[in-house]
Amino acid sequence: METLAMHISNGIINGPVAAVFAAFALAVLTLCVLRGRRDLDDRLAPMAGLVAAFIFAVQMLNFPIFTAGVSGHLLGGALAALLVGPWVGALCVAVVLVVQALVFGDGGVAMLGLNITNMAILGTAAAYLLIALLLRVLPRTPAGLGVTAFVSALVSVLVASQGFVLQYWLGGTTDLGGNLAGLAGTMAGVHLLIGIGEGLVTATTVVTVAKVRPDLVYALRARKPAALAPAVPVTGGVR
């Protein structure tokens, strides 16, 4: 059976369900805007832009998993949650999705609510809950951070893919009969592979950033306020 890229295109889910999820996404994003404004300072603003650009770039790499139309791409929810926090992180992913829908036609505009719910809200929320939990449990070493990044990225991708299954169950335009379980299984299987790739990219990126500029990692900043704050960021002499 064939499955599809993460962005839901127009006409796959019926209108009423799309409208409900659009209202849900709008409500959650409003909350994110209100909470995110507090977070967005001079250090986070360029970081949020770069995280969004990075996610935009990796989402362009659609890699085929099997030859027959199965493709997927990295989502970036966990990376965003780790580096800029859950509120701004969800906004970053949402901005990527909006621009892709408006400019590239990747994912239908009328289905934006569904896509934002899956990738920006569900993916980032699942990732951040896991990050908050794992950072408390695991040792405070680069390896611990790497495992946290890997696991949260993997789970967030799976959660996002099952969000699509839920939406298809609620309002798929074609009745697949007993194939819904098959759809769930295929989505989970494919996204397990994507999740491993996403986990590796997220873990290497976050561990590198945490080693050189720990002040830039939001998830670490929230845990130990004002400790170790390097007043003079040692940067610059690279080029």
Is 50 a binding residue for other proteins by CB under 8 A? The answer is: yes
Q: Closer CB to other proteins, residue 57 or residue 192?
A: 57
Q: Minimum distance between the CB of residue 145 and other proteins, rounded to whole angstroms?
A: 12
Length of the chain: 239
Burial of 211 from C-beta contacts in 10 A (0-12 / 13-18 / 19+): exposed
Please identify which residue in 23, 26, 66, 105 interacts with other proteins, judged by CB under 8 A. 105
Residues 216 to 235: which contact other proteins by CB under 8 A? Answer: 216, 235
Alpha carbons 131 and 199: distance in angstroms, whole number:
13
| 236 lines the binding site for other proteins (CB under 8 A) | yes
Question: Which residues within the stretch 170-209 sit at the binding site for other proteins (CB under 8 A)?
Answer: 173-179, 200-201, 204-209
Give the residue with the Cβ less far from other proteins, 35 or 132.
35
Applying CB under 8 A, which of residues 74, 106, 191, 220 lies at the interface with other proteins? 106
Using CB under 8 A, which residues numbered 110 to 129 contact other proteins? 110-111
Q: Residue 219 CB, nearest distance to other proteins (Å)?
A: 15
Return the residues of window 83-102 that contact other proteins according to CB under 8 A. Answer: 88, 91-92, 94-96, 98-99, 101-102
Report the residue from 26, 31, 37, 192 that binds other proteins according to the rule CB under 8 A. 37
Residue 20 as a binder of other proteins (CB under 8 A): the answer is no
> In angstroms, what is the minimal distance from the CB of 72 to other proteins?
9
Asked if 76 is part of the footprint of other proteins (rule: CB under 8 A), the reply reads: no
Number of residues that bind other proteins (CB under 8 A): 71
